[in-house]
């Protein structure tokens, strides 16, 4: 079984490398043969040169640090509040039905459209971006946690009650563990969302951050700088997702069919 799984992993890795390599090779050939206008599309070579300059000069590090502060703070606060409220409302259906219109009304508000308000309310510093990322992450985590709480098997709860378990034991030993897969799915969706929220906040008002670098590149018509930062953001999200996958495998070892 292990040999088969190892072989599958090798094939998957090979396919990934081939797909990515083919994409960048086709892009480079298109730029060199004049099929793509490098003013608008740049080229992988120019992007690689710009990335090398950003890292070798150290220019990119303060921007990465600032954006990551915003992302992780927003992700932590949004996850914590989303999980807590999701558990509470999943436990108490009457309360959930009472506040449901309020939550749906707030969720329906286009977050990007009100991003400038967060800057107005909390200032030009890091707080406004953190709060904005917090709000975006909260709803993703909340809906997944709430769905997880509502999907717990009633027969399982009845069986545990028959064994003499109290409400606290049912919550901590049955309901919350059953929610973990749902919460992890919400976290995976939140990784990219928190990063997008931080970048949007930096678009609105910032003098540091990867979003600021993108706006700076657009202002100076440096397509390679914009795409270099976008590529860096993609790598960051992939790295964060890999870390979350490892956490997922650790927390869901008890499940025969884990979400991968």
What is the per-residue pLDDT for 191?
A: 87
- pLDDT, residue 69, reads 93
What are the residues whose beta carbons fall under 8 Å from the beta carbon of 173, sequence distance 6 or more? Answer: 160, 165
Q: What is the pLDDT of residue 254?
A: 59
Whether 192 and 237 have beta carbons less than 8 Å apart is answered as yes
Percent over 70 (pLDDT), the chain: 95
**Domain boundaries of the chain, sorted by first residue:** 45-251
Q: Whole-model pTM?
A: 0.81
3-state SS class at 11? helix
Per-residue pLDDT tens for 135-146?
A: 999 999 999 999
pLDDT of residue 37: 85
pLDDT of residue 256: 56
Please state, in angstroms and rounded to a whole number, the distance separating the CA atoms of residues 94 and 139.
20
CATH architecture of 45-251: Orthogonal Bundle (1.10)
Give 179's DSSP letter: H
Q: What is the rounded end-to-end Cα distance, in angstroms, of the chain?
A: 18
3-state secondary structure of 221: coil
Residue 89 has what pLDDT?
Answer: 92
- So what's the pLDDT on residue 22? 93
pLDDT along the chain (260 residues), means of 10: 74 88 91 86 91 92 93 94 93 88 87 81 86 92 91 81 80 83 88 89 85 90 92 91 82 57
What integer pLDDT is reported at residue 250 of this predicted model?
A: 75
């Amino acid at each position: 079984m292990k040999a088969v799984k190892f072989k599958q992993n090798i094939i998957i890795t090979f396919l990934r490398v081939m797909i990515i390599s083919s994409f960048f090779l086709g892009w480079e050939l298109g730029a060199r043969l004049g099929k793509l206008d490098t003013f608008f599309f740049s080229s992988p070579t120019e992007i690689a040169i710009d990335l090398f300059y950003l890292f070798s000069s150290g220019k990119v590090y303060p921007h990465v640090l600032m954006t990551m502060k915003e992302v992780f703070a927003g992700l932590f606060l949004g996850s914590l509040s989303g999980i807590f409220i999701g558990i509470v409302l999943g436990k108490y259906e009457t309360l959930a039905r009472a506040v449901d219109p309020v939550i749906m009304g707030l969720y329906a508000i286009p977050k990007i459209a009100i991003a400038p308000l967060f800057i107005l309310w909390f200032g030009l510093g890091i707080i406004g971006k953190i709060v904005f990322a917090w709000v975006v992450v909260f709803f993703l985590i909340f809906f997944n946690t709430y769905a997880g709480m509502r999907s717990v098997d009633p027969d399982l709860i009845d069986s545990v009650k028959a064994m003499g378990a109290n409400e606290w034991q049912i919550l901590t030993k049955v309901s919350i563990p059953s929610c973990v897969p749902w919460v992890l799915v919400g976290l995976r969706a939140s990784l990219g969302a928190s990063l997008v929220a931080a970048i949007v906040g930096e678009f609105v008002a910032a003098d540091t951050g990867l979003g600021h670098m993108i706006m700076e590149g657009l202002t100076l018509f440096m397509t390679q700088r914009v795409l270099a930062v976008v590529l860096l953001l993609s790598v960051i999200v992939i790295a964060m997702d890999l870390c979350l996958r490892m956490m997922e495998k650790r927390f869901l070892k008890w499940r025969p069919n884990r979400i991968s």
